[in-house]
Amino acid sequence: METRCKFWLPKKNRNCSNACLKGSSFCGNHTQRSDEKWVQCPVDPSHCVLEQNLEAHVRKCPLVKQVKSLAEQRYYQKGINGGDWAGEVRQTIVSSETKRTAVYNMSVAQFSDLLRRIEAVYASICGDIGESYKVPEACGLWIKGEVDRNVPFQEKHVVQQASILGNLEELGVLEKFNESAEVDVGESNDENVPAVVEFGAGRGYLTQMLADCYGVKKVFLVERKAYKLKAERSLRQKESLIVERLKIDIEDLNLDAVESLWRKPYLAVGKHLCGPATDLTIKCTLRDKSNPVLSVNKNHCKRLHGLAIATCCHHLCQWVHYANKKYFLNLGFTEDHFNAITWFTSWAVDADHGSNVVDAMDSRMTFQPSKEMNGRGTTVDDVVRSMSVTDRAILGFKCKEIIDMGRLLWLKEHTMESRLVKYVPSNISPENHLLVARGSKHSL
């Protein structure tokens, strides 16, 4: 009889049920490691190997083939959307712990002065971010839950997806392209139907709604991770739809080199693009002409028809990736200030989003940094402890809007008719800011 692993699982109050390795009382997951040195795999840092086996392992690591295959793709260009190109030295990624340490190493006077400056900037530039909750008629099938049984249905996600598409529709860049599902993809009018590129696509169910409700003909799903239960299960059943998944980090994607997108108008969409993924996406779609590494045949250029990005996880934002550094610098902020502001945004989502926080948000965030903050303690830690959870959350939301406003202005500078709106109520999702834009005639 096959023996079972003897490793005790306290949370499950039983032994592990996996089979033992030959000659061992434990399974492969729970066999004690050798005392020899373990090192990170240079191909995939998510796992470790014995140093003495490293050379052999690198040749057969499961990711080797994947990395090699990606490097052979024309659209792969390492770091093309990360950082600037005017001779900038590549900076390292700043961890959240490093940001936190820098904030707590400030003097109380420096900390309180930064908070007052944040309040002043917020009051001067973030006053016109309006609500734009949309439930388009075209999405009725999804709103009623009448979707393919293979498609996971969660009301809060459907409301968010519908409002993203509704805002695009209101801007005039999205419409129902066919009333009948039986349309041949080779028809001549397909050239006027925008393709859809979903960034940070995950399983791809925002694209699924677009395909079901608006009749798009060609979609590209950009996602670096592997997922189970992807939308392709049902998307590929639509004879009129072409689906292409690009398994690549947005930072490394040269969209101009995707041949099947050449000369094609397209919409760029993304639901909850975490931290720097938003900046990488808008730089990927609106290529900066100052980038000397690009040589694009103008006859091949794709045309950005519209864009909708729901931002989130601003605490992960990085100075090296941020699209509008000039905006921050012109406000009198430095790179260190940017790191502090991005870290403050974590306060917006680490609290219970009960009525106090929601009411404060809806009343235009009434928190005012006190001029007497120096009297609250001798260290920044003392001052932070003296702030209420609601006050910290309000500060976090203000910092989020300041970051997003820089992105909005960057889009406008690149000839996009752009808006920053709250696309769902806070009780649906506290991450409720949407950048939505339409390409001008010049950009098309």
Nearest to 279 by CA among 444, 406, 421: 406
Of 1-10, 77-86, 173-182, the range with the lowest mean pLDDT is: 173-182
Of 6-15, 41-50, 297-306, the range with the lowest mean pLDDT is: 297-306
The amino acid at residue 29 is N
Two tokens, residue 32: 């004690």
| The pLDDT value given to residue 303 | 82
Backbone torsions φ then ψ of 245, nearest 5 degrees: -100, 125
Q: Model confidence over 118-163: pLDDT tens digits?
A: 999 999 998 889 999 999 988 888 888 777 766 666 888 999 999 9
Phi-psi region of 428 (alpha: psi -120 to 50; beta: other; left: phi over 0): alpha
| The pLDDT value given to residue 339 | 97
Q: Model confidence over 171-224: pLDDT tens digits?
A: 998 887 654 333 343 444 556 678 999 999 998 889 989 988 898 889 999 998
pTM value is 0.81
| The pLDDT value given to residue 187 | 44
Domains of the chain, residue spans: 8-72, 96-176+192-288+300-367+379-439
Two tokens, residue 232: 């392709």
Q: Is residue 333 over pLDDT 60?
A: yes
Higher pLDDT, 233 or 250: 250
Residues 225-234: what's their mean pLDDT? Answer: 82
CATH no. for 96-176+192-288+300-367+379-439: 3.40.50.150
Backbone torsions φ then ψ of 416, nearest 5 degrees: -105, 135
